[in-house]
Amino acid sequence: MPEMPEVQGLVAFLGERAVGRTITRTSVGNIAALKTFDPPNNALHGAEITASARHGKFIVLSCGDDLHLVFHLAKAGWLRWYEMLPTTLIKPGKSPIALRVALNDDSGFDLTEAGTKKSLAVYVVRDPEEVPGIARLGPDPLEDSFDRAAFAALLEGRRMQIKGLLRDQSVIAGIGNAYSDEILHAARMSPYAIAGKLDEAEVDRLFTAMRTTLTDAVAEASGKPPADLKDAKRRGMQVHARRGEPCPVCGDTVRSVFFADRSMEYCPTCQTGGKPLADRRLSRLLK
Protein backbone atom coordinates (compact mmCIF):
# COMPACT_ATOMS: atom_id res chain seq x y z
CA MET A 1 0.00 0.00 0.00
CA PRO A 2 1.37 3.44 -0.85
CA GLU A 3 1.96 5.38 2.36
CA MET A 4 2.96 8.94 3.18
CA PRO A 5 6.46 8.98 1.58
CA GLU A 6 5.33 7.46 -1.73
CA VAL A 7 2.15 9.53 -1.79
CA GLN A 8 4.22 12.65 -1.12
CA GLY A 9 6.51 11.62 -3.99
CA LEU A 10 3.49 11.35 -6.30
CA VAL A 11 2.17 14.72 -5.10
CA ALA A 12 5.52 16.38 -5.79
CA PHE A 13 5.73 14.77 -9.24
CA LEU A 14 2.20 15.89 -10.15
CA GLY A 15 3.00 19.34 -8.82
CA GLU A 16 5.86 19.60 -11.29
CA ARG A 17 4.23 17.84 -14.23
CA ALA A 18 0.45 18.34 -14.01
CA VAL A 19 -0.09 21.67 -12.25
CA GLY A 20 -0.70 24.35 -14.85
CA ARG A 21 -2.11 21.85 -17.35
CA THR A 22 -5.78 21.60 -18.30
CA ILE A 23 -7.78 18.39 -17.98
CA THR A 24 -9.26 17.60 -21.38
CA ARG A 25 -10.89 14.27 -20.59
CA THR A 26 -11.56 11.78 -17.82
CA SER A 27 -12.48 8.17 -18.52
CA VAL A 28 -13.86 5.93 -15.77
CA GLY A 29 -12.78 2.30 -16.08
CA ASN A 30 -14.28 1.10 -12.80
CA ILE A 31 -17.49 2.87 -11.91
CA ALA A 32 -17.36 1.50 -8.36
CA ALA A 33 -14.16 3.49 -7.77
CA LEU A 34 -16.00 6.78 -8.32
CA LYS A 35 -17.57 7.61 -4.96
CA THR A 36 -19.28 10.91 -5.83
CA PHE A 37 -21.76 12.12 -8.43
CA ASP A 38 -22.09 15.86 -7.69
CA PRO A 39 -20.13 17.48 -9.22
CA PRO A 40 -19.97 14.91 -12.05
CA ASN A 41 -16.52 13.77 -13.14
CA ASN A 42 -16.95 15.61 -16.46
CA ALA A 43 -16.99 18.88 -14.50
CA LEU A 44 -13.21 18.46 -14.58
CA HIS A 45 -13.14 18.74 -18.38
CA GLY A 46 -11.60 22.06 -19.32
CA ALA A 47 -10.44 22.79 -15.77
CA GLU A 48 -6.87 23.84 -15.08
CA ILE A 49 -5.01 21.99 -12.32
CA THR A 50 -3.82 24.68 -9.91
CA ALA A 51 -2.36 22.69 -7.02
CA SER A 52 -1.28 19.22 -5.89
CA ALA A 53 -1.47 18.31 -2.21
CA ARG A 54 -1.46 15.40 0.21
CA HIS A 55 -3.88 14.75 3.06
CA GLY A 56 -2.70 11.63 4.87
CA LYS A 57 -2.65 9.02 2.08
CA PHE A 58 -5.09 10.99 -0.10
CA ILE A 59 -3.90 12.93 -3.16
CA VAL A 60 -5.77 16.13 -4.00
CA LEU A 61 -5.52 17.80 -7.41
CA SER A 62 -7.22 21.16 -7.14
CA CYS A 63 -8.79 23.02 -10.05
CA GLY A 64 -9.26 26.35 -8.37
CA ASP A 65 -10.85 26.70 -4.95
CA ASP A 66 -14.13 24.87 -5.53
CA LEU A 67 -13.31 21.82 -7.67
CA HIS A 68 -10.99 19.02 -6.59
CA LEU A 69 -10.08 15.57 -7.87
CA VAL A 70 -9.27 13.43 -4.84
CA PHE A 71 -8.06 9.84 -4.87
CA HIS A 72 -6.84 7.18 -2.47
CA LEU A 73 -4.78 4.36 -3.99
CA ALA A 74 -5.71 1.82 -1.28
CA LYS A 75 -3.79 -1.43 -0.97
CA ALA A 76 -3.06 -2.32 -4.59
CA GLY A 77 -3.51 0.94 -6.48
CA TRP A 78 -0.95 3.06 -8.29
CA LEU A 79 -0.57 6.03 -10.59
CA ARG A 80 0.89 5.38 -14.04
CA TRP A 81 2.14 8.49 -15.80
CA TYR A 82 2.43 8.88 -19.59
CA GLU A 83 4.19 11.65 -21.47
CA MET A 84 2.00 10.53 -24.38
CA LEU A 85 -1.26 9.15 -23.06
CA PRO A 86 -2.49 6.00 -24.86
CA THR A 87 -5.51 6.49 -27.09
CA THR A 88 -6.83 2.95 -26.66
CA LEU A 89 -10.40 2.72 -25.45
CA ILE A 90 -10.83 1.68 -21.81
CA LYS A 91 -13.35 -1.13 -21.45
CA PRO A 92 -15.04 -0.92 -18.04
CA GLY A 93 -14.58 -4.10 -16.06
CA LYS A 94 -12.00 -5.43 -18.52
CA SER A 95 -8.98 -3.42 -17.40
CA PRO A 96 -7.04 -2.64 -14.21
CA ILE A 97 -7.54 1.05 -15.01
CA ALA A 98 -9.97 2.73 -12.61
CA LEU A 99 -9.61 6.25 -14.03
CA ARG A 100 -7.75 7.88 -16.91
CA VAL A 101 -7.02 11.61 -16.90
CA ALA A 102 -5.91 13.31 -20.12
CA LEU A 103 -4.14 16.68 -20.13
CA ASN A 104 -3.89 19.33 -22.81
CA ASP A 105 -0.24 18.60 -23.70
CA ASP A 106 -1.17 14.97 -24.60
CA SER A 107 0.27 13.67 -21.31
CA GLY A 108 -1.81 12.19 -18.53
CA PHE A 109 -2.13 9.36 -16.06
CA ASP A 110 -4.04 6.23 -15.22
CA LEU A 111 -5.09 5.19 -11.74
CA THR A 112 -4.71 1.41 -11.75
CA GLU A 113 -5.52 -1.31 -9.25
CA ALA A 114 -4.26 -4.88 -9.25
CA GLY A 115 -6.10 -7.90 -7.89
CA THR A 116 -9.77 -8.69 -7.52
CA LYS A 117 -10.47 -6.77 -4.31
CA LYS A 118 -11.11 -3.23 -5.52
CA SER A 119 -10.66 -0.52 -2.90
CA LEU A 120 -9.19 2.40 -4.87
CA ALA A 121 -11.43 5.44 -4.40
CA VAL A 122 -11.94 8.57 -6.52
CA TYR A 123 -13.89 11.67 -5.52
CA VAL A 124 -14.81 14.87 -7.36
CA VAL A 125 -15.73 17.43 -4.72
CA ARG A 126 -16.03 21.15 -4.06
CA ASP A 127 -14.03 20.88 -0.84
CA PRO A 128 -11.58 18.09 0.13
CA GLU A 129 -13.19 18.01 3.58
CA GLU A 130 -16.28 16.51 1.91
CA VAL A 131 -14.31 13.26 1.56
CA PRO A 132 -15.10 11.26 4.73
CA GLY A 133 -11.61 9.81 4.99
CA ILE A 134 -10.03 13.27 4.90
CA ALA A 135 -12.51 14.77 7.36
CA ARG A 136 -11.56 12.24 10.04
CA LEU A 137 -7.78 12.32 9.60
CA GLY A 138 -5.58 12.81 12.62
CA PRO A 139 -2.54 15.14 12.61
CA ASP A 140 0.22 14.77 10.04
CA PRO A 141 3.33 13.42 11.82
CA LEU A 142 5.69 15.67 9.84
CA GLU A 143 3.85 18.92 10.55
CA ASP A 144 5.94 21.34 12.61
CA SER A 145 3.08 21.68 15.10
CA PHE A 146 3.11 17.93 15.77
CA ASP A 147 6.00 18.01 18.23
CA ARG A 148 7.06 15.60 20.95
CA ALA A 149 4.62 17.10 23.45
CA ALA A 150 1.69 16.73 21.02
CA PHE A 151 2.71 13.14 20.35
CA ALA A 152 2.93 12.31 24.06
CA ALA A 153 -0.50 13.86 24.66
CA LEU A 154 -1.92 11.73 21.86
CA LEU A 155 -0.56 8.52 23.45
CA GLU A 156 -1.64 9.32 26.99
CA GLY A 157 -4.23 6.95 28.38
CA ARG A 158 -4.70 4.94 25.19
CA ARG A 159 -5.06 1.19 25.61
CA MET A 160 -4.27 0.47 21.97
CA GLN A 161 -1.27 -1.56 20.90
CA ILE A 162 1.27 0.84 19.47
CA LYS A 163 1.34 -0.90 16.07
CA GLY A 164 -2.40 -0.37 15.67
CA LEU A 165 -2.24 3.22 16.89
CA LEU A 166 0.43 4.18 14.35
CA ARG A 167 -1.73 2.71 11.58
CA ASP A 168 -4.96 4.37 12.70
CA GLN A 169 -5.55 7.27 10.29
CA SER A 170 -7.90 9.01 12.72
CA VAL A 171 -5.05 9.16 15.26
CA ILE A 172 -2.04 9.89 13.02
CA ALA A 173 -2.38 10.45 9.27
CA GLY A 174 -0.30 8.78 6.60
CA ILE A 175 1.42 5.82 8.30
CA GLY A 176 0.44 2.30 7.27
CA ASN A 177 1.61 -1.24 7.77
CA ALA A 178 5.05 -0.89 6.20
CA TYR A 179 6.26 2.28 7.88
CA SER A 180 4.81 1.34 11.26
CA ASP A 181 7.02 -1.77 11.09
CA GLU A 182 10.02 0.40 10.21
CA ILE A 183 9.31 2.98 12.92
CA LEU A 184 8.93 0.36 15.64
CA HIS A 185 12.14 -1.37 14.57
CA ALA A 186 14.02 1.94 14.67
CA ALA A 187 12.53 2.64 18.12
CA ARG A 188 13.47 -0.87 19.38
CA MET A 189 9.87 -1.40 20.47
CA SER A 190 7.46 -4.34 20.40
CA PRO A 191 4.46 -3.81 18.12
CA TYR A 192 2.31 -5.13 20.98
CA ALA A 193 3.42 -2.47 23.49
CA ILE A 194 0.47 -0.50 24.92
CA ALA A 195 0.58 3.14 23.81
CA GLY A 196 -0.57 4.64 27.10
CA LYS A 197 1.96 2.66 29.15
CA LEU A 198 5.11 3.90 27.40
CA ASP A 199 7.54 5.70 29.70
CA GLU A 200 9.21 9.00 28.86
CA ALA A 201 12.31 7.38 27.34
CA GLU A 202 10.17 5.12 25.15
CA VAL A 203 8.08 8.06 23.98
CA ASP A 204 11.29 9.90 23.11
CA ARG A 205 12.61 6.94 21.12
CA LEU A 206 9.34 6.40 19.31
CA PHE A 207 8.85 10.05 18.37
CA THR A 208 12.42 10.34 17.11
CA ALA A 209 12.11 7.10 15.14
CA MET A 210 8.83 8.23 13.58
CA ARG A 211 10.14 11.62 12.47
CA THR A 212 13.48 10.27 11.25
CA THR A 213 12.04 7.26 9.39
CA LEU A 214 9.39 9.29 7.60
CA THR A 215 11.64 12.27 6.86
CA ASP A 216 14.31 10.02 5.34
CA ALA A 217 11.73 8.11 3.28
CA VAL A 218 10.15 11.32 1.96
CA ALA A 219 13.62 12.58 1.00
CA GLU A 220 14.35 9.29 -0.79
CA ALA A 221 11.07 9.55 -2.74
CA SER A 222 11.62 13.18 -3.67
CA GLY A 223 12.30 13.78 -7.34
CA LYS A 224 11.51 10.24 -8.44
CA PRO A 225 8.90 9.52 -11.13
CA PRO A 226 6.01 7.22 -10.19
CA ALA A 227 7.61 4.23 -11.93
CA ASP A 228 10.60 4.35 -9.54
CA LEU A 229 8.87 4.99 -6.22
CA LYS A 230 7.92 1.42 -5.34
CA ASP A 231 11.46 0.12 -5.81
CA ALA A 232 12.84 3.00 -3.74
CA LYS A 233 10.45 2.06 -0.95
CA ARG A 234 11.50 -1.60 -1.00
CA ARG A 235 15.21 -0.74 -0.94
CA GLY A 236 14.75 1.44 2.13
CA MET A 237 12.99 -1.17 4.27
CA GLN A 238 14.94 -2.64 7.19
CA VAL A 239 12.42 -5.27 8.34
CA HIS A 240 9.11 -4.86 6.49
CA ALA A 241 8.64 -7.57 3.84
CA ARG A 242 12.07 -9.01 4.81
CA ARG A 243 10.96 -12.11 6.68
CA GLY A 244 13.78 -14.64 6.96
CA GLU A 245 16.50 -12.10 6.19
CA PRO A 246 19.09 -10.94 8.76
CA CYS A 247 18.27 -7.78 10.69
CA PRO A 248 20.65 -5.07 9.42
CA VAL A 249 21.19 -3.87 13.01
CA CYS A 250 21.86 -7.05 15.00
CA GLY A 251 21.88 -9.93 12.50
CA ASP A 252 18.97 -11.83 14.05
CA THR A 253 16.40 -13.28 11.66
CA VAL A 254 13.48 -11.00 10.83
CA ARG A 255 10.18 -12.66 11.83
CA SER A 256 6.55 -12.21 10.77
CA VAL A 257 3.17 -12.31 12.43
CA PHE A 258 0.38 -13.04 9.97
CA PHE A 259 -3.11 -11.59 9.94
CA ALA A 260 -6.06 -12.13 7.59
CA ASP A 261 -4.88 -9.76 4.87
CA ARG A 262 -1.43 -8.61 5.92
CA SER A 263 1.62 -9.41 7.99
CA MET A 264 3.91 -7.42 10.23
CA GLU A 265 7.66 -7.88 10.45
CA TYR A 266 9.96 -7.30 13.39
CA CYS A 267 13.33 -8.28 14.86
CA PRO A 268 13.11 -10.29 18.11
CA THR A 269 16.53 -9.17 19.37
CA CYS A 270 15.94 -5.48 18.67
CA GLN A 271 12.28 -5.29 19.67
CA THR A 272 11.01 -8.08 21.93
CA GLY A 273 13.91 -9.11 24.17
CA GLY A 274 14.77 -12.03 21.90
CA LYS A 275 11.28 -13.59 22.20
CA PRO A 276 9.46 -14.46 18.98
CA LEU A 277 5.88 -13.22 18.92
CA ALA A 278 3.13 -15.80 18.55
CA ASP A 279 0.17 -15.20 16.30
CA ARG A 280 -1.78 -12.21 17.60
CA ARG A 281 -4.84 -14.32 18.26
CA LEU A 282 -2.88 -16.68 20.52
CA SER A 283 -0.24 -14.41 22.03
CA ARG A 284 -0.20 -12.49 25.24
CA LEU A 285 0.87 -8.89 24.77
CA LEU A 286 4.58 -8.22 25.01
CA LYS A 287 5.97 -4.93 26.15
Q: Which residues are catalytic?
A: 2-3, 57, 262
- Cβ(97)–Cβ(29) below 8 Å: yes
22-38 b/e (C-beta count within 10 Å ≥ 16 → b):
ebbebebbbeebbbbee
Starting at the edge strand found earlier in the chain, the sheet holding 108-113 runs 23-28, 97-103, 108-113, 77-82
- CA separation for the pair 133, 200 (Å, rounded): 32
Long-range contacts of 127-135 (CB under 8 A, 24+ apart): 127/66, 127/68, 128/55, 128/58, 128/60, 128/68, 128/70, 130/36, 131/58, 131/70, 133/56, 133/58, 133/72, 133/169, 134/55, 134/56, 134/58, 134/70
- Cβ(52)–Cβ(14) below 8 Å: yes
